[in-house]
Amino acid sequence: MTTIIIGLGNPGEQYKNTRHNVGFMVLDKYAKENDFPEFELQKKPNALVSKKENVLIAKPQTFMNDSGKTEKELLKNNKSEETTLIIIHDDIDLPVGKMKIVKERGSAGHKGVESIINNIGNEGLIRFRIGIADLEDDVKAEKVVLKNFSSEEQILIDQVVQKTAEALDCFLRDGLEKTMSKYN
């Protein structure tokens, strides 16, 4: 069985600590804690990729709205009989610091997730949604996702990034049902 874990974000230093990049933040934490090799750019899927045993982790280097192209290419090159795909992404409908695991749900307007569903479908798609809602601000989603976290929010984000990395371990060890009952 192969597991592909994709953290969504935007490439480039100017986006590194923005709300849209929590998927990248989780993968960086997960890779470090689990001794994954350094990420390397793979040109065909246009992603930073690291692989250890039967787990491949990837950070697409397309911008968020084109994330599906990377997933389609990664699946084409790494698909086995039993391939599980997990997407980790920001979610403006959840408060900062919350995480929710879902399976085969719609995009709820998230352009990166929409791109993935349009490119590979939704069957079996597991998503770890990480809350980024800026409850102080009543501005459009496009503005919120590119904002940095306040110092108070950063504490919550660091905690949820750690929790999500632990949930990934749980998923790989115990499966989806146990992980959802423990972390949802």
Task: Give the residue numbers annotated as catalytic, written as ranges.
Answer: 20
Task: From 81, 131, 123, 84, select the one nearest 106 (Cα to Cα).
Answer: 123
Q: Using an 8 Å Cβ cutoff, are 97 and 22 in contact?
A: no
Single-letter code of the amino acid located at 130: I
Task: From 49, 174, 155, 69, select the one nearest 111 (Cα to Cα).
Answer: 69
Interaxial angle between packed helices 111-120 and 67-78, expressed in degrees from 0 to 180 and rounded to the nearest 10: 40
> How is residue 90 written in tokens?
């920001």
Q: Give every CB contact of residue 26 below 8 A, 6+ residues apart in sequence.
A: 7, 88, 128, 130, 161, 164, 165, 168
Q: Give every CB contact of residue 8 below 8 A, 6+ residues apart in sequence.
A: 20, 23, 24, 60, 64, 67, 87, 88, 89, 90, 112, 113
